[in-house]
């Protein structure tokens, strides 16, 4: 059995979501954007190759923390690379790792330009245990006094055949708190003075959430068709 992993279109960075605002274009157009900031980090902590690990990848660390916040194995891994203590470590699997060095700092404005398309992934806001109406946008029943089924789920299957509930049936349960990727979002503005960027549209999570930003994958352009 051959296990295939998705390959990124290029190395990316990690950032922190700050919030949303309206950005006015020079022509007067109002664009809803998400402001993303950067804390200390985005340093290459490990380079993996086909010879050593069986695949090519660049491991990046982000957000500096105190030494006591990390375990001894984590501290040893970062000390081996000569990097500062960092909370988050993520890998970007690439087709080639040429040109990367351990303890290399990745600067966003050197990797991306205004107008580029990026894929942003993060953890969505957790909403707890929710019913079918909020979770799957089901319609409710009649709200008149004679009805006894206002927001209930209703029938979940036949009794005799199949005599069970099919797997994957949409029912009440935990909502949110999962990893989601929003693809092909446009970089509207890069502010070097404030060390923030503005990305058009909404991004997963609430302010303060960790985001993973990578070049948008476009098949046939920066990702092979096979």
Give the per-residue pLDDT at 5. Answer: 59
- Which tokens sit at 120? 């942003």
**Closest CA relative to residue 57, chosen from 42, 72, 46, 43:** 46
Rg of the Cα atoms in the chain: 23
Check whether residue 79 and residue 136 sit in a common domain: no
* 57 and 163, same domain (yes or no): no
Tens of pLDDT, residues 134-188 = 999 999 889 998 888 898 888 888 888 888 999 999 999 999 999 999 999 999 9
Write the DSSP string, 82-112: TPPPEEEEEEEE-S--TT--TTPBPPHHHH-
ω into residue 162 within 30 of 0, thus cis?
Answer: yes
Q: What is the pLDDT of residues 180-220, one digit of tens each?
A: 999 999 999 999 889 899 999 999 999 999 999 999 988 77
- Are 84 and 34 in the same domain? yes
Same domain, 23 and 38: yes
- Are residues 221 and 170 part of one domain? no
Domain-terminating residue out of 159, 175, 191: 175
226 band by pLDDT with thresholds 50, 70 and 90: low
Select from 216, 188, 167 the least CA-distant residue to 8: 216
Could you tell me if 92 and 44 are in contact, meaning their C-beta atoms sit under 8 angstroms apart? Answer: no
* pLDDT for 1: 46
3-state secondary structure of 135: helix
Residues 47 and 158 in one domain: no
Residue 212's pLDDT is 93
What's the pTM?
Answer: 0.82
Looking at the fold, whether 81 and 56 belong to one and the same domain comes out as yes
Q: Any idea what the CATH number is for the domain that residue 187 is in?
A: 2.40.30.10
Tokens of 220: 């046939």
Residue 192 to residue 170: CA distance in whole angstroms: 46
The pLDDT of 31-48, averaged and rounded, is 91
Q: How many domains does the chain have?
A: 2
Domain that holds residue 80: 1-125+179-225
Q: Does residue 33 sit in the same domain as residue 67?
A: yes
């Amino acid at each position: 059995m051959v296990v295939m992993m998705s390959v990124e279109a290029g190395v990316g960075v990690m950032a922190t979501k700050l919030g949303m605002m309206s950005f006015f274009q020079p022509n007067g157009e109002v664009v809803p954007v998400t402001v993303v900031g950067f804390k200390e980090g985005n340093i290459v902590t490990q380079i993996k190759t086909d010879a050593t690990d069986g695949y090519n990848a660049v491991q990046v660390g982000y957000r500096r923390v105190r030494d006591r916040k990390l375990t001894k194995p984590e501290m040893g891994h970062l000390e081996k690379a000569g990097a500062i203590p960092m909370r988050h470590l993520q890998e970007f699997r690439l087709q080639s790792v040429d040109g990367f060095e351990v303890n290399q700092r990745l600067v966003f404005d050197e990797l991306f330009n205004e107008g580029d398309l990026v894929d942003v992934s993060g953890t969505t806001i957790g909403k707890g245990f929710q019913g079918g109406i909020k979770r799957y946008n089901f319609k409710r029943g009649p709200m008149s006094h004679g009805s006894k089924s206002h927001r209930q789920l209703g029938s979940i299957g036949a009794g005799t055949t199949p005599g069970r509930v099919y797997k994957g049936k949409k029912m009440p349960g935990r909502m949110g708190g999962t990893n989601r990727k929003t693809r092909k979002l446009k970089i509207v503005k890069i502010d070097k003075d404030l060390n923030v960027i503005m990305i058009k549209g909404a991004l997963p999570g609430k302010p303060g959430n960790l985001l993973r930003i990578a070049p948008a994958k476009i098949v046939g352009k920066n990702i092979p068709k096979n």
